[in-house]
């Protein structure tokens, strides 16, 4: 598979910003606490499903202090329709406990501290910071992985290596590029039946329509 040239990368960068400069996550939230919980629940689960689950969850547990003291079985029941709900329930309750015990109930907004929270790895930390603080960071989910490979931006076999490659090649505006690549992959450059001829505005840069997945 061909890789994108330096000139092509510059054009892809420009076109993504042209279409997605104001793009934000489709997860619904009102504050950093709700965002962290929503992003944690969204792992291997659709944003649409998470948005169905969270209104009642946040009504019952409106902040880290209430979630930290929650009955774990009640939390499991509220998020039961989410994938891996048992583990996610434990993680978000333990996350809330640490936020209360260590950070006085306030979500930390730097990568190092976020990654000390249960269920928050580097990708989740980056997504939270990209969305909430517009940090110049990249996060690679299945959509970003697929899009970056189809456009010849990366030939890496893992999400973490792909992230490093995208950071090196794009350098700036990473928060907007991340959001744009997610939406582009979700609605246009889909895994099955991509909208190549009807909606794609990056067709001239496409190197493949294979459905790439990270190892």
Catalytically active residues, by annotation: 123, 141
Q: Residue 158's closest CA among 149, 170, 150, 167?
A: 149
Question: What is the three-state SS of the chain?
Answer: CCCCCHHHHHHHHHHHHHHHCCCCCCCCCCCHHHHHHHHHHCCCCCHHHHHHHHHHHHHHCCCHHHHHCCCHHHHHHHCCCCCCHHHHHHHHHHHHHHHHHHHCCCCCCCHHHHCCCCCCCHHHHHHHHHHHHCCCCCCCCHHHHHHHHHCCCCCCCCHHHHHHHHHHHHCCCHHHHHHHHHHHHHHCCCCCCCCCCCCCCCHHHCCCCCCCCCC
């Amino acid at each position: 598979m061909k890789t994108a040239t330096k000139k092509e990368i510059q054009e892809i960068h420009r076109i993504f910003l042209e279409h997605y400069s104001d793009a934000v996550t489709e997860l619904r939230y009102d504050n950093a606490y709700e965002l962290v919980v929503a992003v944690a629940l969204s792992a291997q689960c659709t944003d649409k499903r998470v948005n169905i689950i969270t209104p009642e969850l946040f009504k019952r547990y409106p902040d880290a202090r209430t979630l930290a003291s929650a009955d774990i079985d009640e939390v499991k029941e509220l998020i039961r329709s989410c994938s891996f709900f048992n583990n996610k329930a434990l993680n978000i309750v333990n996350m809330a406990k640490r936020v209360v015990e260590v950070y006085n109930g306030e979500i930390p907004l730097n990568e190092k501290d976020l990654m000390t929270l249960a269920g928050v790895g580097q990708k989740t930390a980056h997504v939270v910071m990209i969305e909430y603080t517009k940090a110049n960071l990249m996060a690679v989910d299945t959509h970003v992985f697929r899009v970056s490979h189809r456009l010849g931006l990366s030939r890496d076999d893992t999400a973490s290596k792909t992230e490093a490659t995208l950071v090196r090649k794009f350098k700036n505006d990473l928060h907007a590029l991340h959001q744009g690549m997610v939406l582009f992959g979700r609605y246009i450059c889909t895994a099955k039946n991509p909208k190549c001829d009807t909606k794609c505005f990056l067709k001239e840069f496409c190197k493949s329509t294979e459905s790439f997945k990270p190892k």
